[in-house]
Amino acid sequence: MPTIIEPFKIKVVEPIHMTTSEQREEILRAASFNLFLVRARDVVIDLLTDSGTGAMSAEQWAGIMRADESYAGADSYYRFESTMCEITGMPHILPTHQGRASERILFELIGGEGKVVPNNAHFDTTRANTEHSGAKALDLPIPEAGEMSSEHPFKGNMNIAALRKTFEEVGAERIPVVLVTITNNSGGGQPVSLENLREVRAICDEFGVPFFLDACRFAENAWFIKQREAGQQDRSAKDIAREMFDLADGALISAKKDGIVNIGGVLLMRDKSMFQHASNLLILTEGFVTYGGLAGRDLEAMAQGFEEVLREDYLNYRIRSTAYLGNKLLDAGVRILEPPGGHAIYIDASSFCPHIPREQFPGQAVVCGLYRVGGIRACEIGSVMFASAGSPPPALELVRLAIPRRVYTQSHIDYVAESIVELHEKRDSLLGMRIIEEPPALRHFTAKFEEIS
């Protein structure tokens, strides 16, 4: 059967507030052409992020009602702990309020001046927490990661030769941990192979350094391995996920992605003494070790979400439906980062509007165009986000269409594709932009723009 259906029925619906193109023009101008400043109710299809925007299942909502809200030792904590232990095999598990809280605790423990943290590619909060501790965040992607159209099946892989060179040049004593992000969000939602994880493990063993996963999208990564890596086809996604975690000494997880919850995170590790120190830091700012800044109901929803995300009918639908959008765009001649990623499609803004120079933010022009045409909210990942004063422009000018989990149906995605194709057909009319107001850091959230006519 060529058609893959959404493996769920809809029990509760949330109306979409439709807008006309005249209204959207006014809204866009009032928000100074920055989609972060647009109210969510004025967005028709919201593809700003796949983080915390998923739809929970009936079982998750039932768990929310059943939850135990005791301060210490709640049943909900024990359910969460045993689920995470079964999926990951990690003996020490702390709940946190979201991924960056796990990052903050880890880097407060092992970061610091003079240290260097290699990663295939840091997500921006991971980089910020590493650098806030005084350490340097070093991205070591494979060369194919920077090529728009490379069909490499594991473009998220860590560059093993560059990792070895880093150990030899920097010295193991200055490298507190090696991180690998699965899937690689900053590199287009591309997966990392088991073979690559085994190679990272071997180097970490050779130099006696711990290996941690940034595992927000671990289930999507496991599914790609099942589809693409030789010899993995007959294994379950759950079994592959377990092997990924077995190779690591610990993991940071934002449960807002593959936990399919609106808030939550996890910090996992094997080392007992590190766990004791992490527990103290958790208590200091997040909460006691059996709730970590969350309510019991959040722990129930996370436990259930992590079980559901490994179901293969779900993963098949998830990865196929993201690719469905990517393939529609490719068929219409819109260049995207290939192959399609797990959680998002990344449009190549430079080729979308070659008449707009990088200093006039082609990605932001596409983002504004998409809002005008279809009320779609996407996210610029290019010079607005990364090239503020003093820093060089990033390798690529991209627009990310992140797909929330279990939220939109195939006709919503058809509408998104049609809007992008319509914009692509009249792309010559897109105007460059200039920034008229910006904060000193993380400017993409609040900067104000105007169009250059």
Which residues lie near ligand F0G (CB under 6 A)? 49, 51, 98-100, 123, 125-126, 181, 185, 214, 216, 254, 256, 265
Quick one: 159 or 185, whose CB is closer to ligand F0G? 185
**Nearest-angstrom CA–CA distance, 357 and 110:** 41
Amino acid residing at 155: K
**Nearest-angstrom CA–CA distance, 16 and 197:** 42
Quick one: 265 or 341, whose CB is closer to ligand F0G? 265
Quick one: 144 or 214, whose CB is closer to ligand F0G? 214
**Nearest-angstrom CA–CA distance, 419 and 325:** 12
Select the residue whose beta carbon is closest to ligand F0G and give its number: 99
Contact 115, 176 (CB under 8 A): yes
Quick one: 75 or 124, whose CB is closer to ligand F0G? 124
Backbone phi, then psi, for 442, in 5-degree steps?
45, 55
Peptide bond into 183 cis (omega under 30): yes
Task: Supply the minimum distance, in Å, between the C-beta of residue 214 and ligand F0G.
Answer: 5
Classify 200 in phi/psi space as left (phi over 0), alpha (psi -120 to 50) or beta. Answer: alpha
Task: Supply the minimum distance, in Å, between the C-beta of residue 20 and ligand F0G.
Answer: 29
- Residue of 194, 210, 191, 223 lying closest to 269 (CA atoms): 210
Q: Is 142 helix (H, G, I), strand (E, B) or coil?
A: coil
Task: Supply the minimum distance, in Å, between the C-beta of residue 97 and ligand F0G.
Answer: 8
Quick one: 318 or 427, whose CB is closer to ligand F0G? 318
Peptide bond into 166 cis (omega under 30): no
Q: Is 293 helix (H, G, I), strand (E, B) or coil?
A: coil
DSSP state of 56: P
**Nearest-angstrom CA–CA distance, 433 and 359:** 8
Quick one: 302 or 366, whose CB is closer to ligand F0G? 302
Quick one: 115 or 256, whose CB is closer to ligand F0G? 256
Task: Supply the minimum distance, in Å, between the C-beta of residue 110 and ligand F0G.
Answer: 17
Task: Supply the minimum distance, in Å, between the C-beta of residue 401 and ligand F0G.
Answer: 12
**Nearest-angstrom CA–CA distance, 166 and 141:** 13
Task: Supply the minimum distance, in Å, between the C-beta of residue 86 and ligand F0G.
Answer: 22
* ∠ Cα 98 251 272 (to 5°): 110
Quick one: 175 or 403, whose CB is closer to ligand F0G? 403
Task: Supply the minimum distance, in Å, between the C-beta of residue 292 and ligand F0G.
Answer: 13
Task: Supply the minimum distance, in Å, between the C-beta of residue 136 and ligand F0G.
Answer: 18
Maximal C-alpha separation, the chain: 62
